[in-house]
Structure 1
Amino acid sequence: MLVQVSAVSLNFGEIAYRSPDPRPGHVPGWDAAGVVVQAAADGSGPAVGDRVVTFGWSGAWAELRAVDTRRGPRDYGSWARPRSCSALPT
């Protein structure tokens, strides 16, 4: 699944435990909220256009985030605002 990231949450651990020498191409960030722009190929997870909150050990600070649907992206529906949802537990 591919998510267009519109908000991120800055966590203490992302800063406290960041690598002093990140590998080339590494994108930090744990929590991100956004909109699904490409559904999972196997049909699992939210549909294109759904607003979701995601968690992973890296990649949240990217414009587009690839998300493993087995890790439980959460659909927060049309009421959700990305800035609020980026800090919700996933």
Structure 2
Amino acid sequence: MRNWIFAYGRCICPGGHIADKAVFLTIAQSLSIFKIEKLAENGRTVEPGLRFEPGVVSHPVPYRTSITPRSEKHGELIRRAEMDYP
């Protein structure tokens, strides 16, 4: 399915490779700065279920998670970036 996004043959999107690399870099940068954890409720960690909404394009059912900076240094980096790029 992923290969169909940018078409193929003579009609292929010339920016497809750049878009793939940009998405990869964005995800890698986010994972390097943020700590993403399962949410704890009532002292117990809640395991999100593996459920999807029906449709032509299936999406996972929304679930709760905790996203925090990995350290105070990472938090300061995020705050500075917000000031430079609001």
Q: Please indicate, yes or no, whether the TM-score normalized by the shorter chain is above 0.5.
A: no
* More RCO (CA 8 Å, sep 6+): 1
Q: Which protein has the bigger strand share?
A: 1
TM-score by length of 2: 0.22
Report the structure number with the largest CA radius of gyration: 2
TM-score by length of 1: 0.22
